Amino acid sequence: LAKTTQPISMDSYEGQEVNITCSHNNIATNDYITWYQQFPSQGPRFIIQGYKTKVTNEVASLFIPADRKSSTLSLPRVSLSDTAVYYCLVGDWAGANNLFFGTGTRLTVIP
């Protein structure tokens, strides 16, 4: 079971780029990396998923180094509405390991 480690909390000013790094030293060959966002009293929302190198979508980018032992979620120009908890999950295609949430990173965007 690939365990993930993230910073407990981060603060950022509006308009800045925010990078949240997740460590997953025991990631397996078949594991992929998924990031979720959760607002209070809501279910997690899928942000981005990747296996290696870089993935970009309309809301974020995901950087994964060659050894895949870590990954970085990059949120460009954050706004107050990006204040949330961000979770990094690591698991295989069948989802067997993609079910265990770590502590997450509580991002607070400051005006």
**Structure token digits, residue 83:** 């204040």
Q: Which of 18, 44, 75, 88 binds another protein (CB under 8 A)?
A: 44
Q: Does 30 contact another protein by CB under 8 A?
A: yes
Q: What is the DSSP letter of 5?
A: B
Q: What is the 3-state secondary structure (H, E, C) of 39-76?
A: CCCCCCEEEEEECCEEEECCCCEEEECCCCCEEEEEEC
Whole-angstrom distance, CA of residue 87 vs CA of residue 83: 13
Residues 73-92 that bind another protein (CB under 8 A): 87
**Nearer residue to another protein within complex by CB, 3 or 77:** 3
Q: Does 34 contact another protein by CB under 8 A?
A: yes
Q: How far is the CB of 105 from another protein (least distance, A)?
A: 11
Binding site for another protein (CB under 8 A): 30, 32, 34, 36, 41-46, 49, 51, 87, 93-95, 98-104
